[in-house]
A and B are shown apart, each in its own frame.
Chain A
């Protein structure tokens, strides 16, 4: 057997083995998607591929079909958590350490028609914590150079040892498929299973970046949610917020960044300039109301 054939066989072996934890998910019209048994009885898929709450069908690796219920989802990180009864499923081994650009990666999915499927490419970029355009935070930005097909999202991205790098999604970047890192999936699954959703910190203020006369930058409070966390703490319209939790803030991204590092219910110090005087206000972080 030549080198090329050996590599080919090895890749197919990985797909066969890892495919045992990958299911086909039918939760939207036209194209289905893929999903992964992340924990016994718990399937993770890409949130953008789930367009209904009920009648979600799962095609299992053994060919059987079953139905799933939505345990919760987090559009910010594009993760949906599904529960199935009576099927524990095989869960993948998670890779220790981060991938590096150039590593080979396989994205493994499943379709109800033809069973397990695979695409191959490389990890093209890896960087630190990254906020998605949907507002969630991924522990790593892992960009993939491999072809994503309509039903690839929600599939499992693995390295050449067959270890999980993350969950494939085409919805978080216009230019490439991404892997939602396994550690982010873990965190979101934990939160959804304990609370049913991912709670996001909320101050209840409308802010606009401004420059103060001393060239310091801050965010002026333009609106206040009545009885919102900031209003309750005594923040007034016209206050200029210049720091939050000890971090200087100059745009709304900075505010989101601070809130992501603090739990809902925690008290945080906001530094504000009011009528030319600096003062601190203690705000109890509220939970962002969820759209229904």
Chain B
């Protein structure tokens, strides 16, 4: 099939390697616009600056535009034009059994291709209520941030994780939404379950929780689901009950979360 080679080659040119400053290892990225927007995973873009390597070996400096830790997405920008942008498909129309192609750079080998079929579309047990595209393709950790495309070469997911051997990608529609409207509001904390609620394990110094003086060890009262509902409610100030040290004394904190860009027009 001649078309297959063409589709793969085009996709390869829309795939970059991403190396975050000050972090070992790297991942992949997907060129989202010809003027230099690049979508990758937030677990790949861990610093304000990154080095991006194009398919032809050119190295470009990228800056972080936005990160959404909740959806594991990040947007980078390079000062370059005339790039081969990927074409996004409609991930909501995907069906199990459809052929898919993944591109990444395992072991530094740029543009390696793997193929398979869509395994499942929807939530994955143990990974929250979000929708994912499960793909029966052999992925390596450095595929993270790279494109998962359909038989037409349209990107239908951003490869993100490997779960029991299954390739797991963020649906392209979530990536489109992220690039269009920015990150969803978040507290900028990592949480773990505790008997009284959710204990803060770490705090992102530039996040909303840090600005509200929440710190590691504090326990947010309530369920994770309820917290997500509040974050997505559109309010810019959230009132959160929490415990600090003494679980007999309930405290309260007001957290200002960054609003999203304009609602989709």
Contacts and interface: CB of A to CB of B under 8 A. Distances in A.
A286 B25 CA distance: 65
B1 to A, nearest CB: 6
A15 B97 contact: yes
B136 to A, nearest CB: 4
Interface string B97-130: 1110000000000000000111111111100000
Contact of A118 (B3, B7, B96, B138): B96
Contacts of A12: 95-98, 118
Contacts of B96: 12, 15-16, 19, 108, 115-118
A31 B1 CA distance: 38
A264 interface: no
B97 A7 contact: no
A214 interface: no
A292 interface: no
Given A4-B4, A8-B99, A149-B165, A114 B116 contact: no
A8 B101 CA distance: 11
A103 to B, nearest CB: 16
B97 A14 contact: yes
Contact of A114 (B7, B122, B151): B122
A113 interface: yes
A104 B1 CA distance: 17
A150 interface: yes
Range class of the B interface residue count: 20 to 34
A4 B99 CA distance: 8
B253 interface: no
B185 interface: no
Interface in A79-102: none
A175 B18 CA distance: 36
Contact of B123 (A7, A16, A113): A113
B164 A7 contact: no
B23 interface: no
A5 interface: yes
A5 B151 contact: yes
Contacts of B120: 111, 114-118
B262 to A, nearest CB: 31
A8 B119 contact: no
B116 A120 contact: yes
B85 to A, nearest CB: 21
Interface residues of A, number: 30
Contacts of B134: 114, 117
Contacts of B124: 113-114
B93 to A, nearest CB: 10
Contacts of B152: 2, 4-5
B150 interface: yes
A119 interface: yes
Nearest to B121: A114
B131 to A, nearest CB: 8
Contact of A7 (B7, B95, B151, B166): B151
Contact of B1 (A3, A13, A116, A147): A3
Contacts of A25: none
A16 B95 contact: yes
A4 B151 contact: yes
A106 B4 contact: no
Contacts of B151: 2, 4-5, 7-8
B22 to A, nearest CB: 36
A11 B164 contact: no
Contacts of A7: 99, 151
Interface of B: 1, 3-4, 7, 95-99, 116-125, 132, 134, 136, 138, 150-152, 164-166
10 contacts: A2-B152, A4-B3, A19-B96, A113-B125, A117-B96, A117-B120, A118-B136, A119-B119, A147-B166, A150-B164
Q: Which 7 pairs between the two chains have the least Cβ-Cβ distance? A: A114-B122, A15-B97, A8-B151, A117-B120, A12-B95, A8-B99, A114-B120
